[in-house]
Amino acid sequence: MRFFDAPLFQNISSHTPEPAVLGIGGSPRAKGNSDLLLTEVLKGASRQGSETRKVHLRDVQFDPCIGCERCRKDRICTGKRDGMSLLYPDIIASKGLVLISPTHNYNITAWMKAFIDRLYCFYNFTAERPGPWSSQLGDQGRKAVIVAICEQETKKDMGFTMEAMGLPLKALGYDIVGELPVLNVFGRGDIKKKEDTLAQAFELGASLARSIA
């Protein structure tokens, strides 16, 4: 059974039209700098003609992965049926993915970590442990950009934020076509003062859209 034929999807209404670029925001703070950056990235993608969808994880009721391993057989997460279940169709349909997270304690936010962990269901494993694995999302021309923002002044103080988003996406088969670490920004809306950074975010989205065209 292919993952998009899983019974999980039988009662889920599809979005019309399906997004070419899916933007995922991991900030718990509404209308903050991460939200503004995500909007700008998707604006750039939209300007190139891509259908986009924006999701703030703080608005999604979902749990972290519980390690039940049911997805090894079902090829999709059936151990939890929650808000994440409603995101899977758009993750599968979209060829472009945007992840953005502020830095929390040298890493991505708990919301973003939980989202990434729930993508575990897209891996294919053999019965052998440890053994070879592959991704159901691989070799499909999928592209992604990642953005992180912090109040610190050096990328070193951002810790693992960029890698925590980039490495799992690469393992899942995404080609990371752009990265934007944003430093020295904290106050709500302060990113508006950085026109060059907003322009970079816009161009990231435009480049992502062009790469999947």
Find the mean pLDDT for residues 28-56.
97
State the pLDDT at residue 19: 94
Alpha helix segments (H runs only) across 65-178: 71-74, 83-93, 110-117, 161-172
DSSP state of 14: P
**Can you tell me the distance from the alpha carbon of 51 to that of 20, in angstroms, rounded to the nearest whole number?**
5
> Domains (ranges, CATH) in the chain?
3-212 (3.40.50.360)
State the pLDDT at residue 113: 98
Predicted structure pTM score: 0.91
State the pLDDT at residue 131: 81
Find the mean pLDDT for residues 179-184.
96
Give the mean pLDDT of the chain: 91
**Can you tell me the distance from the alpha carbon of 134 to that of 107, in angstroms, rounded to the nearest whole number?**
26
pLDDT tens digit string along 61-98?
999 999 999 999 999 999 999 999 999 999 999 999 99
Residues in the chain: 213
State the pLDDT at residue 18: 87
Confidence tier at 16 by pLDDT (50, 70, 90): low
For the ranges 6-15, 66-75, 168-177, the lowest mean pLDDT is seen at: 6-15
Percent of the chain with pLDDT over 70: 92
DSSP state of 173: T
**Can you tell me the distance from the alpha carbon of 11 to that of 24, in angstroms, rounded to the nearest whole number?**
23
Other C-beta atoms closer than 10 Å to the C-beta of 83 total 14
Closest CA to 198 of 47, 51, 22, 39: 39
CA dist 124 to 3, 40, 77, Å?
A: 11, 34, 13
Alpha-carbon Rg for the chain, nearest whole angstrom, is: 17
User: 76: Cβ–Cβ under 8 A, 6 or more apart, which residues?
Assistant: 3, 6, 8, 9, 88, 121
pLDDT tens digit string along 95-143?
999 999 999 999 999 999 999 999 999 999 888 888 888 999 999 999 9
State the pLDDT at residue 132: 87
State the pLDDT at residue 122: 97
Question: Does residue 12 have a pLDDT over 60?
Answer: no
Strand partners, 123: 135
Question: Helix, strand, coil proportions of the chain in percent (round to 5)?
Answer: 40, 20, 40
State the pLDDT at residue 155: 86
State the pLDDT at residue 128: 84
